[in-house]
C-alpha cells in the first residue's frame, strides 16, 4: 500500500506499507510484522531554474542496522541519479517548449501538481502586483 501527500509549494511525503500476502490493504491496520517506510521530499528553490532537493527516509524495520541503513541510502542515491538525467531533459523541454505536451495517464499526479502550483504562483504574482 502506498500513500502520497503533497504540500505546496515544496514538500512531499511517500508512505509505503509492505505486508505478507493477504494481510494488507486500504481498510486494514498493518500487522505487527509489516515493514513501513516513510520518505520525505523537500525542494528548496535556489533561483528561477535551480532547486535543491533534500530526501529523508524513516523505517520501522531494524533502524540501528548500519548495513541496512547504508543499503537504503545507496539505493535512494542510485535511483535519484538514474532519474536526474531524465528530469534535466524534461525540464529543458519545459523551458524550450516547441510542441504540445503528450500527457500520459501515469503522469496525472505530476500534471495536477504543476497545474495547482502554476495557479498558486499566478495568484501570488497578482497579489504582489496589486500591492505595488
DSSP code at position 29: P
The burial of 76, by beta-carbon neighbours within 10 Å (0-12 exposed, 13-18 middle, 19 or more buried), is given as: middle
Taking CA atoms, 85 is separated from 74, 81, 102, in Å, by 18, 7, 19
Task: Give residue 43's pLDDT band: very low, low, confident or very high (50, 70, 90).
Answer: confident
- pLDDT tens across 66-110, in order? 998 899 889 888 988 888 888 888 889 888 989 988 888 888 888
Specify the higher pLDDT residue, 10 or 65. Answer: 65
pLDDT at 66: 92
Which residue, chain included where needed, has cell 504540445? 100
- Whole-model pTM: value is 0.69
pLDDT at 119: 93
**Stretch 26-45: mean pLDDT:** 89
Amino acid at each position: 500500500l502506498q500513500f502520497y501527500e503533497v504540500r505546496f509549494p515544496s514538500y512531499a511525503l511517500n508512505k509505503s506499507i509492505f505486508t505478507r500476502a493477504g494481510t494488507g490493504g486500504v481498510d486494514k491496520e498493518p500487522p505487527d510484522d509489516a515493514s513501513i517506510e516513510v520518505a520525505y521530499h523537500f525542494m528548496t528553490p535556489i533561483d528561477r531554474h535551480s532547486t535543491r532537493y533534500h530526501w529523508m527516509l524513516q523505517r520501522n524495520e531494524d533502524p540501528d542496522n548500519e548495513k541496512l541503513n547504508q543499503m537504503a541510502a545507496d539505493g535512494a542515491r542510485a535511483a535519484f541519479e538514474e532519474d536526474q538525467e531524465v528530469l534535466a531533459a524534461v525540464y529543458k523541454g519545459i523551458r524550450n517548449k516547441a510542441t504540445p505536451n503528450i500527457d500520459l495517464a501515469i503522469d496525472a499526479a505530476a500534471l495536477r501538481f504543476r497545474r495547482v502550483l502554476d495557479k498558486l504562483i499566478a495568484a501570488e504574482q497578482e497579489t504582489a502586483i496589486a500591492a505595488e
